[in-house]
């Protein structure tokens, strides 16, 4: 099965608590989790802190509701962004 764990509370403007950070770090260490997914619209600061503590790698998932000029200038398309999401999901979920 797949278990989803969020560092953030349900409210958009709230920050993760130190206790939540410690719970996630302990969970990741206990289960040997090596990847953290984060959304493109959310500052990855919490993910970076957890990654620094656990040695995990960060993988961005793009929701496509914030395609910027830089993305468009580099030739990004719906298919290329979804393709990147798919590759990150394969990596993070260790799909073969």
The C-alpha R_g of the chain, in whole angstroms, comes to 15
Q: Are 21 and 5 in contact (CB under 8 A)?
A: no
Q: Are 56 and 35 in contact (CB under 8 A)?
A: yes
pLDDT in tens, 63-88: 888 888 888 888 889 899 999 999 99
- Residue 7 falls inside a structural domain: no
What's the CA gap between 91 and 96, in Å, rounded? 9
- Residue 2 falls inside a structural domain: no
Provide the domain limits for residue 65.
18-92
Q: How many domains does the chain have?
A: 1
How much is the pTM? 0.85
Q: Where are the beta strands (DSSP E) in the chain?
A: 35-39, 57-61
User: Looking at the chain, how many residues does it have?
Assistant: 96
- Residue 3 falls inside a structural domain: no
Per-residue pLDDT at 12:
63
* 7: DSSP letter: S
pLDDT in tens, 3-38: 889 888 877 678 889 999 999 999 999 999 999 999
Q: Are 26 and 37 in contact (CB under 8 A)?
A: no
Per-residue pLDDT at 41:
84
Over residues 40-60, mean pLDDT: 94
CATH number of the domain that residue 34 is part of? 3.40.50.1980
């Amino acid at each position: 099965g797949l278990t989803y764990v969020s560092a953030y509370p349900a409210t958009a403007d709230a920050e993760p608590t130190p206790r939540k950070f410690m719970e996630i770090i302990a969970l990741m260490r206990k289960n040997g989790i090596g990847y953290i997914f984060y959304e493109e619209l959310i500052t990855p600061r919490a993910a970076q802190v957890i990654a620094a503590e656990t040695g995990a790698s960060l993988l961005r998932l793009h929701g496509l509701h914030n395609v910027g000029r830089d993305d468009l200038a580099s030739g990004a398309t719906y298919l290329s962004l979804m393709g990147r999401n798919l590759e990150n999901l394969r990596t993070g979920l260790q799909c073969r």
